[in-house]
Amino acid sequence: MHKKACRAAGCTAPLHLAELCATHYNEHEERARLRDTAVSTLHSGLIDGDMVGDESLRHGLDALCRKWQTACFVVQMEQGTAPMPLDEADFAVEWCITLAEDIVKAQRQLSNGMPAAQLHLPNHDWVWERFRNLEAGLRSNGTPRSIG
Ligand SMILES: [Zn+2]
């Protein structure tokens, strides 16, 4: 069976590509591009090839890059550490990408002239709360880890 309408919820627009209408396909592509940029930012510490000018944003990114490296190392080695248990590391990789997407968007807003005081990183607080819980020896959600 061939689906005739866009697979986005509630959308009846005609298909364009990848089972999506033109609008939803463009949104999908935009999200994929942002994610790619966020991942390369986590690897390089650069956004769109440039250093982050704003000091507070740069420090936040540096700290996030260190978490990213730890989480990636744990996933690759399949060996957890006290502040980055193996069963949390796959999730931690995703938290890093989510917050890096915020940082990429914020850097672009700065480049477009937005004052730094107006920047908002919607995922900053919950991501760092999870990392703080892990560092404190808890599960990322703040509950005790079972000793086993
Ligand atoms: Zn659509």
With 80 as the cut, is the pLDDT of residue 87 above it? Answer: yes
pTM of the model as a whole: 0.89
Residue-wise pLDDT for 1-54, tens only, equals 455 789 999 999 999 999 999 999 999 999 999 999 999 999 999 998 999 989
Q: How far apart are CA 105 and CA 76, in angstroms?
A: 28
Distance from residue 15's CA to the centre of ligand 1 (Å): 8
Distance from residue 99's CA to the centre of ligand 1 (Å): 27
Distance from residue 10's CA to the centre of ligand 1 (Å): 8
pLDDT at 1: 47
Residues around ion ligand 1, judged by CB within 5 A, are 6, 8, 11, 13, 21, 24
Residue-wise pLDDT for 49-75, tens only, equals 999 989 999 999 999 999 999 999 999
Distance from residue 34's CA to the centre of ligand 1 (Å): 20
Distance from residue 106's CA to the centre of ligand 1 (Å): 27
Average pLDDT of the residues in 79-93: 95
Q: How far apart are CA 116 and CA 124, in angstroms?
A: 15
Q: How far apart are CA 73 and CA 117, in angstroms?
A: 34
pLDDT at 80: 95
Distance from residue 18's CA to the centre of ligand 1 (Å): 11
Residue-wise pLDDT for 95-119, tens only, equals 999 999 999 999 999 999 999 999 9
